[in-house]
Amino acid sequence: MKFERKDILGIKDLSVDEINLILETAGSFLEVSTRKIKKVPTLRGKTVINLFYEASTRTRTSFEIAGKRLSADTINISSSTSSVMKGETLIDTARNLEAMNPDVIVIRHSAAGAPHLLASLVKQSIINAGDGAHEHPSQALLDMMTIKERKGNFPGLKVAIIGDIEHSRVVRSNIYGLSKMGATVVVAGPATMLPRDIEQMGVKVFDKMEDAITDADVVMMLRIQLERQKQNIFPSLREYSQRYCLNRNNIKLAKKDVIVMHPGPINRGVELSPDIADDPSFSVILDQVNKGVAVRMALLYLLTGGSE
């Protein structure tokens, strides 16, 4: 199969075949990161720009390492070091970058739809590295890769996603991806963190965490953003953690071989108790990070014509 897409803007647009191709390609890149010399010449002479309008350590580093292990030249632009602060519009920034002829632009932006605007303006490939509360496709792909490795296949799996569903781009991308691949997705969180008509995305919705994680094969905990407390979407961290923290007790409701995931960074003791986060019999969190590099290598490879 040939990968025909110019951009990766969201999982919503991807077909099952495309997702499988990305996961297979990522699988073949996993090994590169275990070599003594962690570099292949595949993207030599290609330029990848990481345009990050929002603070990020994990995702930006992951994309940078992915590019470098493929021998691409990677350039990082973050909001504090660029013209972003000088008030240049996204359109002008895009046209200027385009004029320097990169091959791929990876964009992270707090405004939903910003990667779509960029993609409509420039001829280069765009990868959405997270836009507002919209999508975070590379995260969902690395989550799917992790689940597939641990559980074999998706049909019949129950995946519970717990936390601030409303403000999470990870949730939306995972709902699209996991549903397409045949898994059942349930979500739970306080009523104030459940977006309007989320059921129409084809998920079951609970406000009690216990109801959602019962018999789950996968439990994915979301980071609670501490600044949301000011918006009155939850009364206190203390109360939140009493109701929505995954711990030794409530994890017993899930299947025995349940795996616990988290897109990071973790608020230890808030949404995830430390003993679960650090227990390798449940936690696959660092495995997710490891797969992240391979998935991003696959995306860069496929977008630059690697499947031809």
Which residues of this chain interact with other proteins, rule CB under 8 A? Answer: 12, 89-91, 109, 111-114, 116-117, 131-135, 166, 169, 172, 195-198, 200-201
Half-sphere exposure for 156 (CA within 13 Å, toward CB): 5
Minimum CB separation of residue 98 from other proteins in Å reads 15
What's the CA gap between 167 and 150, in Å, rounded?
28
Strands (E), the chain: 47-52, 73-78, 104-109, 125-131, 158-162, 184-188, 204-206, 218-221, 259-261
Minimum CB separation of residue 199 from other proteins in Å reads 9
Residue 101's Cβ-count burial label (10 Å; 0-12, 13-18, 19+) is: exposed
What's the CA gap between 12 and 6, in Å, rounded?
15
Minimum CB separation of residue 97 from other proteins in Å reads 16
Nearer to other proteins, 9 or 251 (CB): 9
Nearer to other proteins, 73 or 166 (CB): 166
Nearer to other proteins, 197 or 227 (CB): 197
State whether the Cα torsion 278-283-284-289 is positive or negative.
negative
Nearer to other proteins, 34 or 200 (CB): 200
Q: Which residues contact 7 (CB under 8 A, 6 or more apart)?
A: 115, 119, 125, 126, 127, 128, 303
Q: Identify any residues that bridge with 49 across adjacent strands, giving them in sequence order.
A: 75, 105
Q: Which residues contact 223 (CB under 8 A, 6 or more apart)?
A: 163, 164, 262, 263, 264, 265, 266, 267, 271
Minimum CB separation of residue 74 from other proteins in Å reads 24
Minimum CB separation of residue 175 from other proteins in Å reads 9
Nearer to other proteins, 73 or 207 (CB): 207
Nearer to other proteins, 23 or 194 (CB): 194
Nearer to other proteins, 100 or 111 (CB): 111
Minimum CB separation of residue 263 from other proteins in Å reads 15
What's the CA gap between 60 and 78, in Å, rounded?
10
Q: Are 266 and 272 in contact (CB under 8 A)?
A: yes
Minimum CB separation of residue 106 from other proteins in Å reads 17
